[in-house]
Amino acid sequence: MAVLVGKKAPLFEADAVVNGGEFVEKFSLEQYLGRKYVIFFFYPLDFTFVCPTELIAFQDKLSEFEARNCAVVGCSVDSKFAHWAWLNTERRQGGIKGVTFPIVSDIAKTIAQNFDVLAGEYVFNTEDEEIDFDGEAVAYRGLFLIDKQGVVRHQVVNDIPLGRSVDEALRMVEALQCYEDNGEVCPANWHPGDETIQESHDSISSYLAKK
């Protein structure tokens, strides 16, 4: 699996559903360049079990991401019509009604391929002389924190059964912004208000001595 940290996030244009039900053509993360940080995350499929818990959890924290000038964008291999239907289904019926951040349709699976989170690969079957798919034709639970220059600064990829921590995604946004604002690095389990470390041997030694 590719490590994209430190590299430009792959570019794409695709259909998306925004504001809970509006179709957008040629949606792209380029609209955020120079303006916003982005949490771009993949999930396997609409109308499943773990996925709605994640999207609703991101929605519940959306105002906190927005307060930190960070957009949240989801993506799966479902069609834009499946996204629309899911967004307009009540939560008690397995839907995600009330989710307002953009959800991208990667029906061609090229976005998941470019971010290297597709749970399988296309292979050439020499016997039938056809292209087959080996694995599950959905995305793993990949998450990428992209800075305002379009560079990936953090990534995490979970297997399909394992839901993510939205609080951890928010913490990473805060840690990146703390580093950018102060030039000091964030130690293990850092949260806003905790002590940071200057990037020198003496300051790191001093920090560790307090622990």
Q: How many residues does the chain have?
A: 211
The verdict on whether 51 is a catalytic residue reads yes
What is the C-alpha separation between 173 and 37, in angstroms, rounded?
Answer: 8
| Separation of first and last alpha carbons in the chain | 35
Residue indicated by tokens 């928010």: 170
Written as one string, the DSSP assignment of 2-60 is ---TTSBPPP--EEEEETTTEEEEEE-GGGGTTT-EEEEEE-S-SS-SHHHHHHHHHHH
Active-site residue (options: 51, 70, 75, 186) = 51
Catalytic residue numbers?
A: 51
